[in-house]
Amino acid sequence: MPEYKLIYFNAKGRAELIRWIFAYGDIAYTDERIEWCDWPARKADIPGGKLPLLVVDDKTLPQSLAIARYLAKQAGLVPQDDLEAAFCDALADTLSEMMHEVYKIIFSPNDEEEKKRQRKEELFPNVISPILTRLNKQLEEREWLVSNEVTWADLMFGLVMGWLEKKDPEMLNGFPAIQQHVNKILALPKIKQWVEEQPDTAF
Ligand SMILES: N[C@@H](CCC(=O)N[C@@H](CS)C(=O)NCC(=O)O)C(=O)O
């Protein structure tokens, strides 16, 4: 097994799925967390100037989803079947696009009241609800989202939906199959252990 170092901020953000995959696969790694105040000095030396990065022995891999996909293979979380593997990629892209819309609101300069209104009246009906409706239907008919066993797409789904539900606790009301799936993923022993032990960060 190569030596792995994950470099990110002291936050969950785009690195948390990668940490979940490390945890699920019981893969050893160094979890380097850069503080915001140190970032300007570090950025100049970072290829591409963005995080996360995965250092694999002497090579540096950028892009969170490419890193997640690579490690998911090591952890047995990518289906052998090429089409199923592509469905995992597709779901990861869908969730990533959805989170892009969520972050646009969360990091906007608007006050909390307005952000809450935007989430409820714009984001939920136009972006999140159509995805939840489709996936809830899918989960009524199958045990895992893509394959007949857990994949990295299920982990990403559990991570993202669990996080959104914490922010808006009523969000998954009306989507019982999704609620159940999120709980199932959060109860996977290695994930449960990581979530309990991880550093407490705001994002
Ligand atoms: N598509 C990239 C986006 C990376 C990205 O935008 N990273 C942000 C943190 S989430 C960053 O490094 N921001 C600091 C900066 O741009 O100076 C990925 O998924 O890894």
Beta carbons within 10 angstroms of residue 176's beta carbon: 12
Query: Does residue 202 form part of some domain?
Result: no
Q: How far is the CA of 97 from the centre of ligand 1 (A)?
A: 14
Structural domain contains residue 203: no
Token reading at 149: 């066993």
Q: Please write the tens of the pLDDT for every residue from 169-185.
A: 999 999 999 999 999 99
Looking at the domain assignment, is residue 8 inside a domain? yes
Which residue range is the domain that position 55 belongs to?
4-76+190-197
Q: What's the CA gap between 125 and 123, in Å, rounded?
A: 6
Give all strands (DSSP E) within the chain, no chain letters: 4-9, 30-34, 53-56, 59-62
Q: Whose CA is nearest to atom 10 of ligand 1?
A: 14
C-alpha 59, offset from chain centre: 23
- Segment 75-85 shows an average pLDDT of 98
pLDDT over 90 (residue 1): no
pLDDT at 105: 95
Which atom belonging to ligand 1 lies closest to the Cα atom of 62? 20
pLDDT at 202 over 90: no
Residue 91, amino acid: L
How remote is the CA of residue 131 from the centroid of ligand 1, in Å? 24
Q: What is the CATH number of the domain that holds 10?
A: 3.40.30.10
Residue with tokens 């809830």: 136
The closest alpha carbon to 70, from 96, 58, 88, belongs to: 88
In a domain, residue 135? The reply is yes
**Does residue 160 form part of some domain?**
yes
Ligand 1 neighbours by CB, cut-off 6 Å: 13-14, 43, 49-52, 63-65
Q: Give a yes or no: residue 169 inside a domain.
A: yes
Residue type, 124: F
pLDDT of 203 over the 90 cut: no
What is the distance in A from the centroid of ligand 1 to the CA of 116? 25
Closest C-alpha residue for ligand 1 atom 1 = 63
Average pLDDT, the chain: 96
* Structure-block tokens of residue 140: 């009524």
Q: Give the model's confidence band at 60: pLDDT under 50 very low, under 70 low, under 90 confident, else very high.
A: very high
Atom of ligand 1 nearest to the CA of 51: 12
pLDDT digits (tens, 9 = 90+) for 97-113: 999 999 999 999 999 99
Cis upstream peptide for 2 (omega within 30°): no
- Residues 10, 53 within the same domain: yes
Assign 117 to helix, strand or coil: helix
- This prediction has a pTM of 0.96
Q: How would you classify the pairing of strands 53-56 and 59-62?
A: antiparallel
Ligand 1 atom with the smallest distance to the CA of 96 is: 19
Instruction: Please indicate, yes or no, whether residues 65 and 110 belong to a single structural domain of this protein.
Output: no
Q: Kindly report, residue by residue over 128-150, the tens digit of the pLDDT.
A: 999 999 999 999 999 999 999 99
For range 141-170, the mean pLDDT: 96
**What is the structure's pLDDT at 47?**
83
